[in-house]
Amino acid sequence: MPTFIPENIFRSDVDELTPYKPVAPFDVLAEQLGIPVEKIVKLDANENPYGASPRVKAVLAQFPFPHIYPDPAARHLRDALSAYLSVPAEHIIIGSGGDEVIDMLLRLVINPGDAIINTPPTFGMYPINARLNRAEVIDVPRRADFSLDVPAIEQAVANNPRAKVLFLTSPNNPNGGITPMETLERLLRLPILIMWDEAYAEFCGQNTAPLVLKHPNLIVLRTFSKWAGLAGLRLGYGIFPAPIAEMMWRVKSPYNANVLAQEAALASLQDLDYLMDTVQKIIAARDQFLQDVTAIEWLHPYPSHSNFVLAKVGGGRTAEGVQNALKQQGILVRNYTPSGLRGHLRIGIGKPEDMKRLLDTLAKL
């Protein structure tokens, strides 16, 4: 009888995939560095330094039904989102983070051999989810200033009739730049579905969701991870044209968004004044940081409409070296060594005191 060979059971395309490199858990790092968790300044994953709203914390502490399955249709949350976005609830599909919504869409539309169009440098999960769903990834790189190369995208769509989804991110991660609405409107004329990822929309006051009602090929992606401080609970959602939303229910697993995530997201929408105040604080800290960082003459930041700043490291220093030196002091930032952004750091915006500690440490490097 032939023996079982574990390596032979994997899909060959999955075996060849480079996994997404998530940031290390900060409590593990704190232990490694011998620094107490509360002294760690975590600026490596664009989380909200103020955390969830007090209302969310109260709701979670008192939640009486963890033993009951969640509502698969997340009715209360989708109704609240409908009011928040000015879009009927039928258009909204909830996921365990925006990441899951990206995966669900690709599971719905990709036949083996289809393709997606990606515009790097941008969020790294699009090509990973695409390849997992057996889609080819066609890269149309952004220009040096990170703006979209619109004619090249149009050409790529014309040349690749099997390209099904174009991923566009605004504000873009990792540089924080926004794509003008006129560009989106122009690209919406193409015969391709556009997933317009607005994970950071609340930091630039953008709401493209109502446009979904006018365009059969537009999907808007949102999350509670960034502005609402719920990254750990995993709650994202998409706003879909009605025919696509209907089909999404077929790929959504019933209990993908857990009860606490749904309750927390709902409580966040009921505490908008508090949360929008923290968003304003983050924006103010970002603008202050962009001013103050000019004192570090070897660090060159790009303008940002989001809760992070991308900066090019110069002056004979390496991004890795700077990242490691900061890490030794308990300050975590993101570096892009393996990608086309070699020599850049992405710095999340923390509280004013976090940014001061970062600047003081940078000044001493």
Binding site for ligand PLP (CB under 6 A): 46, 97-99, 123, 169, 173, 197, 199, 223, 225, 231, 236
Q: Which is nearer to ligand PLP, 169 or 217 (CB)?
A: 169
Min dist. Cβ of residue 102 to ligand PLP (A): 7
CB of 158 to ligand PLP, least distance (A): 26
Number of H helices, E strands in the chain: 13, 12
User: Based on CB atoms, which residue is closest to ligand PLP, 35 or 130?
Assistant: 130
Least CB distance from residue 161 to ligand PLP, whole Å? 27
Q: Whole-number minimum distance, CB 265 to ligand PLP, in Å?
A: 11
**CB 297 → ligand PLP: shortest distance, Å?**
29
Least separation in angstroms between residue 251's CB and ligand PLP is 17
Return d(Cα 59, Cα 259) in angstroms, integer. 11
Phi, psi dihedrals of residue 201, rounded to the nearest 5° = -55, -40
The closest alpha carbon to 109, from 184, 168, 162, 187, belongs to 162
Q: Which two structure tokens, joined as six digits, stand for 357?
A: 């500690």
The residue with tokens 């006051």 is 205
Q: With respect to ligand PLP, which residue has the nearer C-beta, 98 or 177?
A: 98
Q: How far is the CB of 123 from ligand PLP (least distance, A)?
A: 4
Q: Specify whether the backbone of 83 is left (phi greater than 0), alpha (psi in -120 to 50) or beta.
A: alpha
Residue nearest to ligand PLP (CB): 97
Nearest approach in angstroms of CB 295 to ligand PLP is 28
Minimum CB distance to ligand PLP smaller for 99 or for 202: 99
Residue with smaller CB distance to ligand PLP, 53 or 96: 96
Residues 46, 226: contact at Cβ < 8 Å? yes
Cis peptide before 121 (omega within 30 of 0): yes
Looking at the Cβ atoms of 46 and 262, the one nearer to ligand PLP is 46
Three-class secondary structure of residue 132 per DSSP:
helix
The terminus-to-terminus CA distance of the chain in angstroms comes to: 63
Rounded CA separation 64/260 (Å): 10
Give the nearer residue to ligand PLP in terms of CB position, either 175 or 329: 175
262-272 burial, b if ≥16 CB within 10 A, otherwise e? bbbbbbbbebe
User: Looking at beta carbons only, is 261 or 311 nearer to ligand PLP?
Assistant: 261
C-alpha distance from residue 226 to each of 10, 12, 82, 278 (Å) = 35, 35, 19, 11
Alpha-carbon distance values, 254 to 107, 287, 327 (Å): 15, 42, 41
Beta bridge partners of 291: none
